[in-house]
Amino acid sequence: MIGDSLDERKLVEKVLKGDERAKFDLYQAHKQKLYSFCVYMMGANDPAIEDILQEVFLTAFQKLSQFEFRSSLNTWLTQICIHQCYRHFRQKGRLVAQEQESLEGLLRSKAMESAEEHSRSEELKVKTEIVRSALEKMGSPCRQILELRSRSGASYVEIARTLKVPMGTVMSRLARCTADLREIVKRMISEGWK
């Protein structure tokens, strides 16, 4: 049986001489215990367990000549397995940190975008309120023509029909009322309209 120290020495000697069957026997003798250990360390659902197990045996076969039989072969393989599991944890930690950093960057940009959108929305509300307040300060003819043009999107012809005035009057009144509205808005802003 391989658990016996003498049998382990013979098996290691055969592996070191390049005996492929001895490699397979070593693998078969220890894979289930090491697999169970990986499951214990990493959890049964970690998809990296098979990769780690493969790395353990690759490392073991590369360093087998350094094995001095101070412990059992199983203990030595378990130490390699522990090292590989921790290496996986460090790599996974770096990946998680990178993903977290990336996510934070996305969230920051989304938050900034959202804040800018909110700011634009608030700015639009303020501007709309200023214009509404400025329109209230204007006389009825100007308020009526500006509302028809800006809110309803009425054409000059439609405004002329609605107000029963010539189209030239609509154009001149619209230009004068728009200039007056601009002046009222400027004055309200300079006076610190809230």
Cβ–Cβ < 8 Å for 159, 112: no
Count how many domains the chain has: 2
CATH number at residue 24: 1.10.1740.10
- pTM: predicted TM-score of the whole model, two decimal places: 0.49
Predicted pLDDT at 193: 61
In a domain, 112, yes or no: no
Predicted pLDDT at 17: 93
Query: Would you state the torsion angle of the CA atoms of residues 25, 26, 29, 31, taken in this order, to the nearest 10 degrees?
Result: -120
CA of 191: how far to CAs of 139, 185, 194, in Å?
A: 21, 10, 9
pLDDT in tens, the chain (194 residues): 444 566 888 999 999 999 999 999 999 999 999 999 888 877 777 788 899 999 999 999 999 999 888 888 999 999 999 889 888 877 776 765 666 666 566 656 666 666 677 677 777 777 778 778 888 888 888 888 888 887 777 777 888 888 888 777 888 888 888 888 888 888 887 777 65
Residues 87 and 144 occupy one common structural domain: no
Residues 144 and 91 occupy one common structural domain: no
In a domain, 166, yes or no: yes
Q: Which domain holds residue 74?
A: 5-97
CATH number at residue 153: 1.10.10.10
Cβ–Cβ < 8 Å for 56, 77: yes
Residues 168 and 85 occupy one common structural domain: no
At which of 43, 71, 97 does a domain end? 97
